[in-house]
Structure 1
Amino acid sequence: MAGMDIGVLLPTGTAQWGPSDDPRDLISFGRRAERLGFSSLFVNDSLISPRIEALTMLAALAPATENVTLGTAALMPFLRRPVQAAQSLASIDLLSGGRLTVTVGAGFPGRFGRPLYTLSELPWSRRFARLDETVALWRALWDGAGAFHGEILRFADIPPTTRPFRPGGPPVWLGGATPAALARTGLMYDGWLPYPPEPADYASGLRDIHRAAADAGRAGTDITPALFVSVRIDDDVESGRRALDGYARSAYGMPLEELEKIQAVVAGSADQVCERLGQYVAAGVRHLVVRLGSLGLPSQRDQLERAADLIPAVRAAADHTSRSGGS
């Protein structure tokens, strides 16, 4: 698979803002990222920590940007009524001229998982089956279906809904790296956006997805291999890790040494960060979604500029991997 996309996660959470930051500056932040050469802008989704609501942010970005992909990392559909969510997503795809990509997730155990389901008034059990049916419902509605009869979701006589810009609707990716998530990605999703701490884990997961896709009669090349990764570019690894530790404690309430056990984290000089990202590229990643490990919008903008300087080298690494017969 040739080509390399490099995107950035917008700092939509209040934990990432300084006292004098204006959230309306997120629009200019996204526009600056586009001008710097980033190919996508992503937002995340939660009801536990205060933030600009994900679909509201993407709707604001749609007319303010021109070419970048607009994505979720990840949207949790159980927080929204499924038919209403299909309408909202189709509307954003229309407003952006077909630039939407929707990564979805079902939540995970721990302090963020069950409380979200309590707020959504949905059962925790069978959450993965509900997620897959919700995506199937969206795709049916985007194709003009007037009814849907799933095992969990059933709707008859659905009135005409908004059709997206692209026939069939925007691509839908899945987050997660459990064996079941890998199998489901290969079976029915258009992309994969996990955050494994080690490149070797990414490579093995991608192989499992390709096997599952082949078993389902799909081509592995039809599934976009993406990575969600926290990045801090600093003078050296030690100073970068100190800054990321502050970020982790503010955003997650945990030290960096705990966060990096479950998520991909890269810190250091520009060369060190580029080398580590290159290992993920060699493992098969073709769309990086970079979360900038910094607090306050001025510091986020500084990290954005530094990260933009890495784009040519990361893309060159992807080209070299493709030419040498890598993933």
Structure 2
Amino acid sequence: MDIGVLLPTGTAQWGPTDDPRELVAFGRAAERLGFSSLFVNDSLLSPRVEALTMLAALAPATGTVALGTAALLPSLRRPVQAAQSLASIDVLSGGRLTVTVGAGFPGRFGMPLYALSELPWAGRFARLDETVALWRALWDGAGSFQGELFRFADLPPALTPARAGGPPVWLGGATPSALARAGRLYDGWLPYPPDPADYATGLHDIRAAAADAGRPAGDITPALFVSIRIDDDVERGRRATDAYARATYGMPLQDLEQIQAVVTGPADQVVGRLERYVAVGARHIVLRLAAQDLHSQRDQLERAADLIPAVRTAALA
């Protein structure tokens, strides 16, 4: 059972006097507190530290914690260049990289980014899958690649990742198409369904798709992305999470809860809610801490660390 944390790389999570260089110290603190992984968000243009830059800074500053993206948008980068950057982070971290990918969402978090990248919105899922296939070919040392979108007859040697075949690549999303593709093509699944029952259904469908493709179910890591706020005062915690939701997504908490897993309340209530996801199969939980300055983020990090033993014990039940 792995429990990781999302680094607060966006300015919506920084106070007016915060120094973003503290993010490296934040990552080291999370490692000392017993978290299994450090994840970062991605976007083409947004007020946050660029994802791969952040991971490159963390690679030599940490020793054992896994490093990951949640989720990287590969279509918005040159695919060969991205493969080299990811291999570099994997090498610099000693093979600790996990790459969760996605294709973006309709609305302001997806379509405008494709327009800025001069890419069609239509066909984005096929582009995503082929980009990942190209990465894996480069990481395996292939001399050529022939796909529907990318064709390279003579690929020069690329940097070999620390692990044979390259870092594991997970898929975000929970549409029927995403579930089928995760089962056929990817090494893990990182969704954020607000209802544990939906997580259970999705994981069942992924494993069925994997079986149809001749893959063992154990080849796919069942992960979960969830926002949490630990507060003994329930209403105070919800107010803080509401402010976080409005600053980050421009929507109130009650709307965010309809589309993403969000857990607030005293520690025992947060553990109880997380245990429901563990009970239906989640085995790598990535916690996003709902706080709007680095001091509060650090406080929530320490509170969340206290939950790790109980959540891990639930996985053994």
- TM-score, scaled relative to structure 1: 0.96
Which amino acid is the alignment partner of residue 135 of structure 2? W
Judge conservation of contact 1:232–1:293 (CA < 8 Å) in 2.
yes
How far does the alpha carbon of each residue in 1:32-87 deviate from its partner, in whole angstroms, 9 at most, with x for none?
Answer: 00000000000000134311000000000000000000000000001210000000
Identity across matched positions, percent:
79
Corresponding residue number in structure 1 for 2:312? 315
Judge conservation of contact 1:41–1:69 (CA < 8 Å) in 2.
yes
How far does the alpha carbon of each residue in 1:241-275 deviate from its partner, in whole angstroms, 9 at most, with x for none?
Answer: 11100000011111111111110000000000000
For residue 125 of structure 1, the aligned residue among 122, 125, 149 is 122
Moved more, 173-182 or 229-238: 229-238
For residue 101 of structure 1, the aligned residue among 95, 98, 101 is 98
For residue 88 of structure 1, the aligned residue among 79, 85, 89 is 85
Question: Structure 2 matches for 1:126-205, cutoff 5 A?
Answer: 126-205=123-202
Tell me the SS of whatever aligns to 1:83.
helix
Judge conservation of contact 1:229–1:291 (CA < 8 Å) in 2.
yes
> Distance in 2 between the 1:285 and 1:113 partners?
27
> Distance in 1 between the 2:239 and 2:96 partners?
36
> Distance in 2 between the 1:52 and 1:34 partners?
20
Corresponding residue number in structure 2 for 1:6? 3
Distance 1:177 1:127, change over 3 A: same
Judge conservation of contact 1:173–1:189 (CA < 8 Å) in 2.
yes
> Distance in 1 between the 2:79 and 2:44 partners?
17
Q: How much has 1:88 moved relative to structure 2?
A: 0.3
Corresponding residue number in structure 2 for 1:18? 15
> Distance in 1 between the 2:108 and 2:48 partners?
17
> Distance in 2 between the 1:5 and 1:137 partners?
29
> Distance in 2 between the 1:260 and 1:219 partners?
33
- Unaligned 5+ runs, structure 1: 321-327
Q: How much has 1:111 moved relative to structure 2?
A: 1.7
Tell me the SS of whatever aligns to 1:42.
strand
Tell me the SS of whatever aligns to 1:62.
helix
> Distance in 1 between the 2:16 and 2:145 partners?
47
Which amino acid is the alignment partner of residue 54 of structure 1? A
- Unaligned 5+ runs, structure 2: none
Judge conservation of contact 1:245–1:255 (CA < 8 Å) in 2.
yes
Which amino acid is the alignment partner of residue 5 of structure 1? D
Moved more, 231-240 or 17-26: 231-240
Corresponding residue number in structure 2 for 1:324? none
Judge conservation of contact 1:104–1:175 (CA < 8 Å) in 2.
yes
Q: CA RMSD in A?
A: 0.7
> Distance in 2 between the 1:237 and 1:208 partners?
35
Moved more, 279-288 or 45-54: 45-54
How far does the alpha carbon of each residue in 1:155-181 deviate from its partner, in whole angstroms, 9 at most, with x for none?
Answer: 221111111001100000000000000
Question: Structure 2 matches for 1:198-277, cutoff 5 A?
Answer: 198-277=195-274
Tell me the SS of whatever aligns to 1:70.
strand
> Distance in 2 between the 1:57 and 1:187 partners?
30
Corresponding residue number in structure 2 for 1:55? 52
> Distance in 1 between the 2:4 and 2:59 partners?
15
Following TM superposition, where does structure 1 have runs of at least 4 consecutive aligned residues deviating by more than 6 angstroms? none
Corresponding residue number in structure 2 for 1:297? 294
Which amino acid is the alignment partner of residue 298 of structure 1? H
Which amino acid is the alignment partner of residue 38 of structure 2? L
Tell me the SS of whatever aligns to 1:63.
helix
> Distance in 1 between the 2:255 and 2:6 partners?
21
How far does the alpha carbon of each residue in 1:207-243 deviate from its partner, in whole angstroms, 9 at most, with x for none?
Answer: 0000000000001111000000000000133221111
> Distance in 1 between the 2:17 and 2:235 partners?
28
Judge conservation of contact 1:48–1:112 (CA < 8 Å) in 2.
no
> Distance in 1 between the 2:162 and 2:182 partners?
24
Q: How much has 1:26 moved relative to structure 2?
A: 0.2
> Distance in 2 between the 1:146 and 1:218 partners?
26
